[in-house]
Amino acid sequence: RQLFVSAQELHTLKVTSQETVIQIKAHVASLKGMAPEDQIIPLAGMPLKDEATISQCGVEVLTTLAVANCGLGGKVHSSLADAGKIRGQTPKVAKQEKMKTGFVNVVPTFGKKDPNAIS
């Protein structure tokens, strides 16, 4: 049986139907230097269990298995409530004082404004 393993590059492995997933991970570890416990091999969207044989998993001849490296994750923000907030990062600009306008200047007066106006 031949399997294709995609771990940054495509490799061809000769395996038997009784080989387990952990043995395939050991092959990849010898090729790429990734620790077997850090590898995830998904098939049809589900990760394969280490103790299962490739025939139990439903892996066919000439199947391409993608090996993903599961690195340690971490939180980006101090808490999820702070995510996306920019408060405290930008300085507050003081509001400028507006000029005072009297009520008379705002509301137009009725009637004649100057001697030439026709109303």
Is residue 89 over pLDDT 80? no
Minimal CA–CA distance to 63: which of 12, 27, 7?
12
The parent domain of residue 47 ranges over 2-69
Structure tokens at 57: 């998993």
Structure tokens at 48: 């394969």
50, part of any domain: yes
**Residue 34, domain CATH:** 3.10.20.90
Tell me how crowded residue 8 is: count the other CB atoms within 10 A of its CB: 10
98, part of any domain: no
pTM: 0.55
86, part of any domain: no
pLDDT at position 115 is 64
The model's pLDDT over 3-55, given as tens digits with 9 standing for 90+, comes to 888 888 888 888 888 888 899 889 888 888 888 888 888 888 888 888 888 88
The model's pLDDT over 42-81, given as tens digits with 9 standing for 90+, comes to 888 888 888 888 888 888 888 888 888 776 665 555 566 6
**Total number of domains in the chain:** 1
77, part of any domain: no
75, part of any domain: no
